Structure 1
Amino acid sequence: MSPDTYGDISFEDRMATADFRVHERPHITVDTAVCVSCPTRPCVPACPAALFVPTADGGLLFNYEHCFECGVCYQVCPADDAIGWSYPDGGFGVVFRKG
């Protein structure tokens, strides 16, 4: 089995089965002021949902609405307190539907 497939379903097709139930309270917060001074920004390539986007002026944009809740960003971030992560409130977050 290829690493790009899950059974007979490609990664892209599997991710298309995700439904995001977004709560008004973000379950991830990012202090982008801290991110400006980060030389490596490991969150950018590590996020499977590509929610961390560098900007031309050296900033970082972040969007929690399509988060897969894996916690990788929180784990790879080298800065203390730059990323605050918790599970979404009950009934909210990502739901994977059977493809």
Structure 2
Amino acid sequence: MTVKRQGVDELLGLDKFTIDEENAHIRLNKEICANCKDKPCLVVCPAKLYKLNDNGEVSFDYAGCLECGTCRIMCKDKGIVLWKYPAGTLGVAFRCG
């Protein structure tokens, strides 16, 4: 019997996200992020939601956030000025298929 392993993208595709369009649960201070040399958020986010735009600025889309908190812990310069869990019934709902 062969067991097929699912990749990360397939597993993330099973999750359900209910987004709070009016209240982002994570906010960045763009000035602090601009001066950050290491930019660990670009590599530690398991959902790859932090990106560098064409101007070299960090952009972030909280809509696919897995709410793991890794970015908050790794941001030593405190560029993440707000990190909280979304309000009840909002955010990610993990599903195992």
Aligned length: 92
The structure with more strand, counted as a fraction of residues = 1
TM-score w.r.t. structure 2 length? Answer: 0.86
Matches within 5 A, 1:1-99: 8-23=5-20, 24-80=22-78, 82-83=79-80, 84-99=82-97
SS in 2 for 1:53: strand
Superposed displacement of residue 57, structure 1: 1.6
SS in 2 for 1:12: helix
Q: Please give the alpha-carbon distance, in whole angstroms, between the structure 2 residues aligned to 1:10 and 1:64.
A: 22
Q: Please give the alpha-carbon distance, in whole angstroms, between the structure 2 residues aligned to 1:11 and 1:98.
A: 12
List gaps (5 residues or longer) in structure 1. 1-6
Residue deviations 1:19-44, cap 9 Å, x none?
11001211111112210011010000
CA RMSD of aligned residues (A): 1.5
Q: Please give the alpha-carbon distance, in whole angstroms, between the structure 2 residues aligned to 1:37 and 1:48.
A: 23
Percent identical pairs in the alignment equals 34
